Amino acid sequence: MTLLHRPLPSLLLSTASAGAAATAAALGPLPVWKLSDLYEAKDAPQLKQDMEKASELSLAFEAKWKGKLAEAAASTGAGGIGEALKEYEALDDLLGKIGSFAGLTYFSDTSDPANGKFYGDVQAKLTDLSSHLLFFALELNRIDDAVMNACMDRDPSAGHYRPWIVDLRQDKPFQLDDKLEQLFLEKSMTSAAAFNRLFDETMAELRFEVDGERLNLEPTLNMLQEPRPEARAKAAAALSKTFGDNLRVFTLITNTLAKDKEISDRWRGFEDIADSRHLANRVEREVVDALAAAVQEAYPRLSHRYYAMKAKWLGMDQLNYWDRNAPLPETPNALIPWKDAQNTVLSAYRDFAPEMAEIAGRFFDEDWIDAPARPGKAPGAFAHPTVPSAHPYVLVNYMGKPRDVMTLAHELGHGVHQVLAGEQGALMCQTPLTLAETASVFGEMLTFRALLEKTTDTRERKAMLAQKVEDMINTVVRQIAFYQFERKLHTARKDGELTAEQIGELWLSVQAESLGPAIRISEGYETWWTYIPHFIHSPFYVYAYAFGDCLVNSLYAVYQQAAPGFQQKYFELLKAGGTKHHSELLKPFGLDATDPSFWSKGLSMIEGLIDELEAMDTSA
């Protein structure tokens, strides 16, 4: 299929400018994803037909199986649990396809009221249909363990879904009766889902004034990587002002969602504020606690030490908070064209395994990527798996910075993972978040190492190493600080609603601890918690980044030792999807996340890169 590119629109900034035009020319044509692989349009006849089909099948499934699963567990073949699971999986795929199209359409331009209405209407319809399917998991979990095990042993069609059934039964202690579960599901549309949408639409509408230009979030954040100190300072001031101007709505959203979660956790019987996330990630609380403790203990050796070095490189006693990601003087200033970014990532993937590059190449060739930064588009980057019957999509906001190339490598790693795991089918393809970051971070590491090996200039090598260290600090130290902020916030919220000032104080306390004395945290930074989407969409998600980075550091060390059959083992890990626990997946590599020394090994790689930078300083 021919790749159809669209040029970066002049609406990169809300006012047309020569700078935007120059950026567009430098980056070259940027692709926009082709959502017609799902449906042609919001009013496509096929979408309408699939909505009607989903409604009919959901009602028919409920009528056929509700109240009869215990009897079905005693049957084999027709009328058995295996048949029910196959029908349920097909329905899950169909509903997922519809929901994915609505979500991706919305995130393409969250400022378009028509997109908002479409997304809201589809979500409401899917929630209604899901209420007819809710009984299935609840009823399955009420079947006695011995009966269910015998059923899976006896019936191959049911045994095929054993990993999903075993996984599902971990939720059993926390499930409520059917009526309450239905109430929670239906009320989610007017509680958590509504406030998530309010956050997204508020963020999309925000504008940040810099030198008379009104920018949206991505270009403003991008200015924090500008080489000119005054540009970074102006961007930071604009961000702080707009965040401050909208503090009231972000405080309301945060308080409401924290309370909503507390109510849900209390009814379900979760002991710790993060236990529901640990359960969803299929990771033990003790493992996450060990990770967080190891990272916090390493703050002085990692972030504190590195930022002190960076302040010296930039000729400052202390870095301002907006200088944290400032480029070094050695960093090349030229923008990286999209085509160069594509070739860089695919080449690194190909050197590791041709199959990996072949899968990633399809994202470019078949228009599965949306790259331009434009007003209304969702900020940041993500890879959406959609459903196994379709294919994943990747969203980035490509601005031509070296970090954008690494973001592309990261999201394509997710995409490759999602393609491979899709072979497990709709019920078993979803990977827990802790392992979902493995392929993305590994893809980044491959790209970084490939670039570093080709760099012979000492100054450029230093800039590359420094940027990689910063990215790893952002992934590990910063995300664990985020996790600790969430823990403090959700704990404090139990005692009553929090003011914006109280939330800001919690934010500054973890930032000061994690960043260290070399970063000057001044007025304005207390509002920067407002724009982090993970706090809103996926509470306590953030530790998964640190988990994935440390895991990949250990995994990459095994790869560097030329372990026999590494690539094959790696692909088996990705293909497993959600069918295996992290301990089972890491065992072939000789790794164990429950080992107290595991996290220290991962963190030692970051420390080693800082050592290398310090040695370069000494020899200069």
C-alpha 407/C-alpha 255 separation (Å) is 31
Place of tokens 């009919």: 56
- Count of all residues that appear for the chain in the document: 620
From residue 450, how far is each of 169, 396, 406, 468, 611 by CA, in Å?
A: 43, 22, 12, 13, 20
Name the residue among 111, 264, 259 with its Cα closest to residue 197. Answer: 111
Q: What pLDDT does residue 555 have?
A: 92
**Model confidence pLDDT, tens digit, residues 386-417:** 999 999 999 999 999 888 999 999 999 999 99
Residue 23 amino acid letter: T
From residue 398, how far is each of 32, 216, 381, 409 by CA, in Å?
A: 11, 14, 9, 12
Q: Are 547 and 432 in contact (CB under 8 A)?
A: no
Residue 233 amino acid letter: A
Helix, coil or strand: residue 395? strand
Q: Are 261 and 490 in contact (CB under 8 A)?
A: yes
Q: Kindly give the interhelix angle for 338-352 and 402-421, rounded to the nearest 10 degrees.
A: 50
Phi, psi of 285, deg, nearest 5: -55, -40
Name the residue among 524, 604, 565 with its Cα closest to residue 208. Answer: 524
Report strand pairing: 369-370 vs 393-395: parallel
Q: What pLDDT does residue 620 have?
A: 56
Q: What pLDDT does residue 619 have?
A: 62
Name the residue among 101, 12, 111, 88 with its Cα closest to residue 51. Answer: 101
Q: Give the tokens for residue 88.
A: 């349920």
Q: What pLDDT does residue 578 have?
A: 92
Count of beta carbons in the 10 Å neighbourhood of residue 303: 29
Domains of the chain listed by start with CATH number = 35-190 (1.20.140.70), 196-331+476-537 (1.10.1370.20), 338-474+548-590 (1.10.1370.40)
CA atoms 73, 74, 76, 80: torsion sign: negative
Q: What pLDDT does residue 314 have?
A: 94
Hey, which residues does 209 pair with through a beta bridge?
214
Q: Give the tokens for residue 467.
A: 């940027």
Q: What pLDDT does residue 19 have?
A: 61
Q: What DSSP character marks residue 35?
A: G
Q: Give the tokens for residue 501.
A: 């000032």
For residue 572, the surrounding DSSP H or E stretch is helix 566-575
Q: What DSSP character marks residue 424?
A: G
* Positions of the chain with pLDDT lower than 70, given as ranges: 1-20, 76-77, 619-620
Place of tokens 């064209």: 337
- Print the SS3 string covering 67-84: CCHHHHHCCCCCCCHHHH
Q: What pLDDT does residue 16 have?
A: 35
Q: What pLDDT does residue 429 have?
A: 95
Q: What pLDDT does residue 76 have?
A: 67
- Average per-residue pLDDT in the chain? 92
Q: What pLDDT does residue 3 have?
A: 23
